[in-house]
Amino acid sequence: MPTIEFDQVSKNFSGNTVIKGFDATVPDKEFLVLLGPSGCGKSTMLRMIAGLTDISAGQLKFDGVVVNDLEPKKRNIAFVFQSYALYPHMSVRANIGFPLVMDNFKWWHHIPLVGGLARRALMKREDVATKINEVAEMLELTDYLDRRPKALSGGQRQRVAVARSLIREPALYLLDEPLSNLDAKLRTQMRAEISALHDRVKKTFVYVTHDQVEAMTMGTRIIVLNDGLVQQYGTPKDIYDRPANTFVARFIGSPPMNLIPIVVDGGRATMFGINLPFQPPETMGVQEAQLGIRAEKVQVRIERGAPGYPARIVTVEHLGSETVVGFKFGTDNLTVEVGARASRDLFYAKLVGDVRLEHGQTCTISFDPADVLWYSSDSGELFDSPQMAPS
């Protein structure tokens, strides 16, 4: 049950750096999610943890011991891939028990008939049978143990693949986008099941996904990766509340965080030519910057004379329990835009409940200075919290 430590771990493929050196310590029993867009290096990082890919530089440690050169077999890990292969001619029971059979494999098991009988006997051995029943119970597969994989649904097959990887009771569970082949409903269900499994087995999980909802709902800690570079490492709450840079701010949350262009000059900030009634961090100096505010922290008022910034509503999405409003600052007449263009330059408010608002309405936008984050336009980095002071 290791604490995982990354000490300037990096990876090159023939001179091409795909993971740039980074440091992180992941305590025991965490559910670590590696999150980022396709091609950012998630699978490479997971494979380095598994020992399936060499580490180019830096050290990977389990419980303080360098494991860079430790064989995968000796790392006591279970690896669940996106595309899982079950043996079609074997029952669910035999598929789940397969790793235990392999552990007890003798050369003469290769002999037809004799070997088959021996393997079957092994499946019936009390300790093996008990183990299979336990794991099947855990993943609600007890009723399907005698079926063939083809008589199962996609979700059930995925559970068999998970069960098979769990049977050895590894110290570390590595999962690479295991749910991406499933439909939306099943994905939601499996998400809950994998989280429940983590609670039950109380081991460290490392889970790769490009889906920020999976990361936020399952992870106890998240590493956000982009282009081989670790953007942020923290709890889901840290990452949601204080994204370290504008990449993370845009990647996490739906709709993404509003990043509104502002100009900072001598402890003052203006937004679309209007002075903000609160001050930016002193360290910002003079620069073009971005004001970050989550959609659910934005208030939209249509009463005349309400305090705030004038804006016009461009899109309204009624989701039942909430209403997502897309707006533009200013009250100029908007030409009707369609498709992708319409969403460009839009900012968003997420309002609780089904709110009656309409496309084209003018409104005022306001937010609490305490909810504001400040980002540099050049580096995209987060600045320290603002000094709150009345204007």
Residue 232 binds ligand ADP (CB under 6 A): no
Q: How many residues does the chain have?
A: 391
Which element (helix H / strand E) includes 135?
A: helix 126-138
Tokens of 151: 């008589």
Strands 31-35 and 221-226: parallel
CB of 229 to ligand ADP, least distance (A): 12
Nearest to 35 by CA among 209, 233, 280: 209
Among 23, 27, 39, 345, binds ligand ADP (CB under 6 A): 39
CB of 187 to ligand ADP, least distance (A): 18
Residue 226 binds ligand ADP (CB under 6 A): no
Q: Is 283 exposed, middle or buried (0-12, 13-18, 19+ CB in 10 A)?
A: exposed
Tell me if 173 sits within 8 A of 46, measured CB to CB: no
Tokens of 122: 């092994």
Which segment (22-30, 37-45, 157-165, 191-199) binds ligand ADP by CB under 6 A? Answer: 37-45
Our CB check for ligand ADP shows the closer of 39 and 154 to be: 39
Residue 44 binds Mg ion (CB under 5 A): no
Residue 40 binds ligand ADP (CB under 6 A): yes
Q: Which does 87 bind (CB under 5 to 8 A by kind): ligand ADP, Mg ion, none?
A: none
Q: Which does 333 bind (CB under 5 to 8 A by kind): ligand ADP, Mg ion, none?
A: none
Residue 209 binds Mg ion (CB under 5 A): no
Residue 162 binds ligand ADP (CB under 6 A): no
In this structure, how many other beta carbons lie within 10 angstroms of the beta carbon of residue 216? 18
Q: Which does 38 bind (CB under 5 to 8 A by kind): ligand ADP, Mg ion, none?
A: ligand ADP
Count of residues binding ligand ADP (CB under 6 A)? 10
Q: Which amino acid is at 102?
A: M
Residue 43 binds Mg ion (CB under 5 A): yes
Residue 13 binds ligand ADP (CB under 6 A): yes
Residue 44 binds ligand ADP (CB under 6 A): yes
**Ordered alpha helix ranges (H), 332-372:** 339-343
Phi-psi sector, 353: left (phi>0), alpha (psi -120 to 50), beta: left
Tokens of 173: 């569970």
Which residue ranges make up the site for ligand ADP (CB under 6 A)? Answer: 13, 18, 36, 38-44
Which residue ranges make up the site for Mg ion (CB under 5 A)? Answer: 43
